[in-house]
């Protein structure tokens, strides 16, 4: 009888621990050189990103901050992030096409949490540019290759959530 109770208690504690840790934000602040983290709970994405001039800031290693970006601590910022999709181990935006309008994207930058809401989703021809209307708000744009069309990029436009 005692071993059955013990096993049940261990199972309950394990379930509670799993439930409590599934919603936690991984802290990348101790990693070398990263400047922030992107978290998209809907697709289980939690990855750091690096300064524009860092050798780590490349889609061949990480989520890349595009050079045209301004960080979210700046008024009317425009943070542009790109990453591979597909099936490789560096395909950090593999499930980006599962996002929908009004989904949340969290950016942690300088120990501050910025919550963005997906406003628009579209695809356009890959030519080195993103056709984008700059909002008078803090804006986040995520881009990757289209999962369905060659030479096409998927673009997710997000606006900072009103507090």
pTM above 0.75, yes or no: yes
The tens digit of pLDDT for each residue in 10-59 reads 444 444 444 443 444 444 444 568 999 999 999 999 999 999 999 999 99
**Burial (CB count within 10 angstroms: exposed 0-12, middle 13-18, buried 19+), residue 154:** buried
Nearest one of 82, 73, 97 to 50, comparing CA atoms:
82
DSSP 63: B
State residue 1's pLDDT score. Answer: 56
- Could you tell me the domains of the chain? 24-160 (2.40.260.10)
pLDDT band at 73 (very low <50, low <70, confident <90, very high): very high
Helix, strand or coil for residue 17? helix
CA 117 to chain centre: 12
Tokens found for residue 22: 């599934």
Cβ proximity of 85 and 96 under 8 Å: yes
């Amino acid at each position: 009888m005692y071993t059955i109770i013990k096993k049940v208690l261990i199972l309950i504690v394990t379930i509670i621990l799993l439930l409590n840790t599934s919603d936690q934000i991984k802290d990348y602040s101790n990693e070398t050189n990263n400047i922030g983290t992107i978290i998209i709970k809907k697709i289980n994405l939690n990855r750091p990103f690096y300064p524009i001039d860092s050798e780590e800031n490349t889609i061949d290693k990480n989520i890349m901050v595009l050079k045209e970006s301004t960080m979210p601590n700046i008024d009317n910022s425009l943070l542009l992030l790109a990453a591979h999709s597909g099936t490789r181990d560096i395909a950090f935006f593999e499930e980006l096409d599962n996002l929908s309008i009004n989904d949340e994207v969290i950016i942690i930058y300088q120990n501050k949490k910025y919550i963005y809401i997906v406003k628009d989703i579209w695809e356009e021809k890959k030519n080195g540019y993103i056709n984008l209307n700059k909002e008078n708000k803090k804006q986040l744009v995520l881009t990757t290759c289209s999962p369905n069309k060659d030479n096409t990029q998927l673009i997710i436009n997000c606006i900072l959530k009103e507090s």
